[in-house]
Amino acid sequence: MGFVVYDTETTGLKQGFDQIVQFAAILTDADLVELDRFELRCRLQPHVIPHPSALLANGISIGQLTDPNLPSHYDMVGSIRRQLAAWGPAIFVGYNSIRFDEEMLRHAFFQNLFPAFLTTMPPNCRADAMNLVLAACAARPASLSLPIGPEGRPTFKLAAVAQANGLEATRAHDAMGDAEMTLELCRRVQAGSDDVWQRFVRFSNKAVVADFVRNEKYFFLTEFFGGEATHRVVSRLGSAPNDSNGHLCWDLGTNPASLADMDDQALDEAVCRPMSPVRRLRVNAAPSVCAHWDAPEWLEFDRGVAESRAAWLQAHSDVVARVVGFYAKRWKDAEPSVHPELRMYSDPFPGPADEARMWNFHESSKARRLGLVRDLDDARLRTFGHRLVYAEHRSALPEADRLKADRWLASRLIEEAGGPLTLPVAIALVDEECDRVTGAERDLLVEYRAWLKARLDRASAHLGEQLTGPLSHGSPASE
């Protein structure tokens, strides 16, 4: 199986509310030889307000983001999905991707009425190159090195890691540039730490991880905190609460026999504390695991102690059940968000009828799309569908729907609701940033502030019923 190494540039860090504005990916064979590449940019969605820090980091002006010659976000996301599907099956790899880029991509798919989980649909797999880099740095001998940041601690930012290992980082915060750096770091590990590389590839498959965790009596789990690796010998306890991909493990560095005589309060304090001996891993997040019998020599541990403690856990299922139960109590389900953007995981997946309507939406004419959206059973999808119809072809909406959508957009852009960035907040953030930057960066922010102020004036006028036309910079949105 080959690899798809990819990266995104976004309007900010708020998953569900910010958007991808640039996507780049490189297809390779199993030996990391490049076969193809793909890159796209898109224009800003009308209901998304970029964070000023994102504009500075990416070096993208508001004029570039609102260029009418760029594809719409919907068109870009559709092209991304078609290309990734054509390249599959593959192992999808990014740098810090499982925590960020994967989530941004899932939200983009879902909010554009595509199935969200393309990269984890079998036989596709996913892995995170940042974990690979950290594992390679922790190996003996290390095949990569982590640079030291200004505060005297290791930093694992992609550009800094690349430069510390002799790679050019002239295109940092450009999606293709970051994808190229990520690919080259993977090649360095493949060449210099074959055992680390082979585990990385093997455990990118969540089915393999699940079988491994269930069948190994005990194994190594490596976790990273602040760039530092912590290696633990653990044994599986059971499934994590409300998470089919989650597993709870016991750190065998702590003697589980001490739990046997604890009352409820003492057990709760022992289990539910910072750096608890109960460790949680997700089989679909490419965890850094290693069989105890396959561990490198420098990972020293007392095999006899680990064997006996793992055996004790197997023989005391009643204690294990109490541990899992107390841990589960701390993972109560949160109240569903009022924002549909934050309910991708908390609500049930779309049913077969809605899945069919989603596919029909993309194949239908603009005249038919509104009817398909109204027939959707899932309230989240109806919301996203109305936004798409309004953004892509506003004229297809009845006048009452257009005016309602205009008012919704004006309200979203102005009124703070604990979700998306608003125009007034963005202006305040720009003013703060302007005090610390100069030159081209300040010019970028001055241009952005003028755009924000103009949109704020129009949105405020609309809420005051002084404006009846569309509010967007080119393609409005609706709910």
Q: Residue 439 has what pLDDT?
A: 94
Per residue in 87-117, pLDDT (tens digit) is: 999 999 999 999 999 999 999 999 999 999 9
Residue 479 is predicted with a pLDDT of 42
Lowest mean pLDDT among 2-11, 117-126, 151-160: 151-160
pLDDT at 171 over 60: yes
Assess whether pLDDT exceeds 90 at residue 397.
Answer: no
417: pLDDT strictly greater than 90: no
pLDDT of residue 333: 62
Alpha helices of 147-174 — where are they, by DSSP H? 158-164
Task: Give the lowest-confidence range in 96-110, 293-307, 365-379.
Answer: 293-307
More confident residue, 439 or 170: 439
> Is the model's pLDDT at 463 over the cut of 60?
yes
Specify whether the CB–CB gap between 261 and 238 falls below 8 A: no
Q: Which of 248, 287, 276, 342 is nearest to 99 (CA)?
A: 287
Q: Where are the beta strands (DSSP E) in 55-110?
A: 90-94
Res. 469: pLDDT tops 50: no
* For residue 473, pLDDT beyond 50: no
pLDDT in tens, 235-248: 999 998 878 899 99
Look at residue 478 and tell me whether its pLDDT is greater than 70: no
Residue 165 has pLDDT above 60, yes or no: yes
pLDDT value of position 468: 43
Q: What is the pLDDT of residue 475?
A: 38
**Which candidate, 426, 424, 404, 406, places its Cα nearest to that of 414?**
424
Host H or E run for residue 129: helix 129-138
Comparing CA positions, the residue from 149, 175, 152 lying closest to residue 160 is: 149
Q: Per the omega criterion (within 30 degrees of 0), is the bond before 122 cis?
A: no
Model's pTM, two decimal places?
A: 0.90
Exposed/middle/buried for residue 276 (C-beta within 10 Å: 0-12, 13-18, 19+) = middle
Instruction: Set out the domains of the chain in order of their start, with CATH numbers.
Output: 3-193 (3.30.420.10), 205-331 (3.30.1520.20), 365-463 (no CATH)
Instruction: Provide mean pLDDT across the span 200-224.
Output: 93
Taking only the tens place, the pLDDT of each residue in 308-355 is 999 999 999 999 999 998 888 776 666 788 999 999 998 899 999 999
pLDDT tier for residue 275 given thresholds of 50, 70 and 90? confident
Residue with tokens 């609102």: 66
The pLDDT of residue 227: 62
